[in-house]
Structure 1
Amino acid sequence: MLKFIKVSLLVLTLIGITAWAVLAIYFGDSHSSIVQACVAVVFGLFGLVTLASLGFARWRRRALVAYSILFFLILIWWLFAVSPSNERQWQSDVSKLPYATVEGDTVTVHDIRNFDYRSEFDFSPAYYTKTFDLNKIEGVDLFAVYWMGLAIAHTIMSFNFGEKEYLAISIEARKELNEGYSTIKGFFRQYELMYIVADERDVIRLRTNYRKNPTEDVYLYRLQGPKENARRLFLEYLRKINELHDKPAFYNSLLDNCTTAIWFNTRVNPGHLPFSWKILLSGYVPEYLYESQRLDTRIPFLDLQRQAHINPAAQAADQSPDFSQRIRAAYDKLQIQ
């Protein structure tokens, strides 16, 4: 039985790392090629040969040693030759990296995105620079965007600076020209990490009004917590934004995505939420926040969730200059009650 377990674990390990190496070789450094595909196939076949050798004592050790050397070389190549870059042919919606300058309590954010959309892929690019007073920050809102069931959501943080001023920050995979998003590719250093700093009429309205295939449902939740936490979190975001502006990093579908990155950023605050499986299954983040007393708990979560759905309000507001206020009307009504 012990021998059977050891062999089974070895077989599963070989299958797993062979599959990983084949995909790593195939995807390569940003682009695939015929040569990469051929090398990936050859390594995959060698992995099958190594698996078959486990049944032959005479060849087992030699095959495992040769396989280990080849895999080690592939791993070294992947770790050191596949590197992030800010110098690629980017899609126009992610072509500019934002950055910020901080002087005491004053923050100036450069290249805030504010596109004028006619459809999801038809828009007029526009950016602006704006200065914010850190003393005016009042809190943080969370947007949860669903398009593929209840378990997965894209999360966006928006910082409230009072006087009807909001700044949204969406953590995303930075895609190259004519490149689509793939969760699988996101595990293999295929996308750079990007913090999109945007007007809510851009990054939120895009999802409520213009994404049609598939449609996206957007929910807005006001987070509970002291203003000092919001300030620290905003400054941590800016630190990361400036770091990525100078030194690119890879997006990772599991470890550094739109939601896990938020959790890592919130660790600057005392009493931050402990890690939970609901952060990995990001669609359950609002529920986790509710259970942790970080959302308004005066009404049941399902009722709060219904009031948090902003698609109808966003579609009615559309290009209105008070877009941010109108999508918050339902929540503000709850606050009054």
Structure 2
Amino acid sequence: MERFFTGIGRGLQLLLAFGLLFWAAMAVHFQLSPPFRIAAIAALAAVALVILFLAGRGKWRGVWRWMGFSAIVIFGWWFTVRPSNDRDWMVEVSRGVTAEEVPEGLLVRNIRNFDWTSETEATPAWYDAVVDPDKITSVDMLLSVWDHPDIAHTLVSFGFEDGQHIVFSAETRKENGESYSTLGGFFRLFELSLIAADERDIVRLRTDLRGEQVGLYPIDITPEQRKTLFMSFIDYGNGLAAQAEWYNTLTTNCTTVPYFLVAKFSDRVTLDRRMMLPGRLPEYLQDLGVLAKGQDMAQVRKRARLGSLGPAVPDGKAFSKQMRRAWATP
């Protein structure tokens, strides 16, 4: 029996060693350019062979030493991989939202309002706006589904007394030439960007140009909670401008960022598996009592779905009002 458990322990030791080396190989793949990548992977392969050789000769202390040495080198390098705000960014994520207090109210900078002509081409435009967070009259969650119904991009839109809407979206901050990679998002491939945008830009891009299924869900929270949530997004954007952060496919993404911002001021939110499946967020929010209380969710989803929004129009307030026509009447 003792030999059995010894064998299990040594098997787990090897599993841990090769798990570490595999993780390191993936990190190297996404972080290093080809000449350095090849050299680093060759070094990892050499370490794997040494560990196999030592294990085959029963020299398990040697295996532990090589594992410890490898871990120090790997994690020592990993912690030198730092996020930056100074890269050759794609134009649509080249500016993150920031804001500052002014005598007239809150000056929100870098609100994106691109005129998209295709999924990847647009006439760039940015503007600043002075808003009063005390005059936020609505908060809407938008879910944009492009493949599996459980997988969606989450956006949060704030409506003001004068009809203006500002949408916040946590996104990968891709450099020119980069493309999205779910796996790469686990290995510090992308920085995180918090985009503030006009609905004519960020919603129409998804409904009309990308052909995604977008749903709009009005959130029932108090005026004070609306203001607090809005200012949480603003503070987060200012924080990112001061210190860049990494996007992470699992822990820091378009859904978890709003979740943790809400969790700072509300004890009603709880960790739920539906946080990992954003397409199921409407049911989660209904369970919290902030969406469509007592209504049939199938009907709510049907009502929420946006079709094609048509050409962008100069009047953003009229665009936003038309976008919400399904919710204008009971």
Normalised by the shorter chain, which TM-score bucket?
over 0.9
Q: How big is each residue's C-alpha offset from its partner over 1:191-223, in whole Å with a ceiling of 9 and x where there is no partner?
A: 111100000110111111111xxx411111011
Q: Which residue is 2:319 aligned to?
A: 323
The 3 A distance-change label for structure 1 pair 154 and 48 is: farther
Please give the TM-score of this superposition, normalised by the length of structure 1: 0.90
Task: Give distance in 1, aligned partners of 2:290 and 2:55.
Answer: 54
The amino acid that maps onto 2:44 is F
**Structural mapping, 1:243-322, within 5 Å:** 243-312=239-308, 314-315=309-310, 318-319=312-313, 321=315, 322=318
SS at match of 2:271: coil
Assess if the C-alpha contact under 8 Å between 1:174 and 1:194 holds in 2.
yes
Q: 1:20 aligns with which of 15, 19, 23?
A: 23
SS in structure 1 opposite 2:208? helix
2:63 counterpart of 1:63 = yes
Is 62-71 or 163-172 further displaced after alignment?
A: 62-71
Aligned-pair CA distance for 1:255: 1.1
CA 1:223–1:4: 2 relative to 1, 3 Å: farther
Residue of structure 2 equivalent to 1:169: 168
1:202 corresponds to: 201
Q: Which amino acid counterpart does residue 40 of structure 1 have in structure 2? A: I
What is the CA–CA distance in structure 1 between the aligned matches of 2:248 and 2:25, rounded to whole Å? 18
Does residue 227 (structure 1) correspond to residue 228 (structure 2)? The answer is no
Identity percentage over the alignment? 32
Match of 1:39 in 2: 40
Structure 2 CA distance for partners of 1:63 and 1:120, relative to 1, 3 Å: same
User: Which position in structure 1 is the counterpart of 2:98?
Assistant: 99
SS state of the match for residue 17, structure 2?
helix
Deviation for aligned residue 1:155: 0.2
Q: By how many angstroms is 1:280 displaced?
A: 1.6
| CA RMSD between the two structures | 1.9
Residue 115 of structure 1 aligns with which residue?
114
Give per-residue Cα distances to partners, 1:124-166, cap 9 Å, x unaligned: 1001110001221123110111112022111001111122111
Q: Counterpart of 2:68 in structure 1: which amino acid? A: S
1:77 aligns with 2:77: yes
Q: Which runs of 4 or more aligned residues in structure 1 lie more than 6 Å from their structure 2 counterparts after TM superposition?
A: none
Partner amino acid for 1:224? D
- Which residue is 2:129 aligned to? 130
1:182 equivalent in structure 2: 181
Distance (whole Å) between structure 2 residues aligned to residue 107 and residue 129 of structure 1: 10
Aligned mate of 1:236, from 222, 232, 247 = 232
Equivalenced residue count is 325
Give the Å deviation of 1:106. Answer: 1.9
Q: Distance in 2 between matches of 1:231 and 1:174?
A: 26
> 1:138 is paired with a residue of what secondary structure?
strand
Aligned-residue offset at 1:11: 3.5
Listed one character per residue, the Cα deviations across residues 65-85 of structure 1 (whole Å, up to 9, x for unaligned) are 123212221111111x21111
Instruction: State the secondary structure of the residue aligned to 1:40.
Output: helix
CA 1:219 to 1:12, structure 2 compared with 1: closer, same or farther past 3 Å? Answer: farther
Q: How far is 1:2 from its partner? A: 3.4
For structure 2, list consecutive stretches of 5 or more residues without a partner in the other structure: none
